[in-house]
Amino acid sequence: MTQDERKDAVAAAAIDEIEPWLERSTILGIGTGSTANRFIDRLARFRDDFKGAVASSEASAERLHGHGIEVFELNSVGTVPFYIDGADEVNAHLHLIKGGGAALTREKIVAACAERFICIADASKRVERLGRFPLPVEVIPMARSYVARELVKLGADPVYREGVITDNGNQILDCFDFMIDDPVAMETRINAIVGVVTNGLFAARGADVLLLGGESSVERRT
C-alpha cells in the first residue's frame, strides 16, 4: 500500500471502531491533518446516525460543515466518547508527538475531554524514541524569544515556524535535534515555561487505541 492508501485504511478502521457506538445523541471529537481529513470524509456517510462533532481546528470544522455535519463548541458539549486524530510520531506506549499542522493546543484540549482517544496513523509515524520529528511548541507571541532560550537550555534547537499563526492567535517554535527519553516528564517541563501555551507531546494523556496502517493491513494496539 502507498502512504495515502495506508491513511485511507486507518480512517476506514476508525469508522469500524466507532460505528457500533454511534447514537443520535453522539458528539464526536475530530482532529486535524490529512489522515483526520480522510476520516471526516468517510464519516460523512454516517452523518444521520450521530448528532455532530467538536473540531480541533477551523480547517476541520470547515470540512465537517462541508459534509453537512454539525459542529459544536466544546464548552456546550462537556465530554466526547471518542476523539479521532492523527499523529506525527507514536511510540510503543502510545505517547505521541502532534502539532505538525499547528493545531496541537485545541487537539490536546479535545483529547482531554475524550473518553477514548483513537490515534490513526500510517506506519511511517511509528518510532522507538520520540523526537526525530521536530517537537512543536505553541507560544504567546511576545514570549517567543524567551521561550526559545529556555528550550535551548533543555537541549533543543527551536526554530520559529515563520508565517504560521495558530487558530488561537499564537506562534509555533519547532524543536529540532531533541530526542526525548521521558515524554511525560518533558511534556510537563516544557509546559511549565512561562509563555508556553502547550507543547506537542501527548504523553500524560496519550492515545488509548492506535490504528497503524502497515504494508498490507491495519494493526490495532491498546
Beta-carbon contacts of 54 under 8 Å, excluding residues fewer than 6 positions away, are 27, 28, 29, 30, 71, 72, 73, 74, 77, 80, 110, 113
Q: Residue 28 in contact with residue 82, Cβ under 8 Å?
A: yes
Catalytic residue status for 107: yes
Stretch that binds ligand 5RP, among 46-54, 61-69, 98-106, 170-178 (CB under 6 A): 98-106
By CB under 6 A, tell whether 134 contacts ligand 5RP. Answer: no
By CB under 6 A, tell whether 88 contacts ligand 5RP. Answer: yes
* In the chain, alpha helices (H): 3-18, 34-43, 58-66, 104-112, 144-153, 183-191
Q: Which residues are annotated as a binding site for substrate?
A: 32-35, 85-88, 98-101, 125
Binding mask 149-188 for ligand 5RP (x = CB under 6 A): ----------------------------------------
From residue 4, alpha-carbon distances to 10, 88, 112 in Å are 10, 15, 28
From residue 52, alpha-carbon distances to 24, 96, 196 in Å are 9, 26, 31
Q: Which of 51, 214 has the CB closer to ligand 5RP?
A: 214
- Cell numbers placing 106: 485545541
Stretch that binds ligand 5RP, among 28-36, 46-54, 60-68, 211-219 (CB under 6 A): 28-36
Minimum CB separation from ligand 5RP for residue 42, in Å? 14
By CB under 6 A, tell whether 98 contacts ligand 5RP. Answer: yes
Q: Residue 111 in contact with residue 202, Cβ under 8 Å?
A: yes
Q: Which of 107, 138, 150, 187 is catalytic?
A: 107
- Cell numbers placing 145: 524569544
By CB under 6 A, tell whether 213 contacts ligand 5RP. Answer: no
By CB under 6 A, tell whether 31 contacts ligand 5RP. Answer: yes
Supply the residues annotated as catalytic: 107
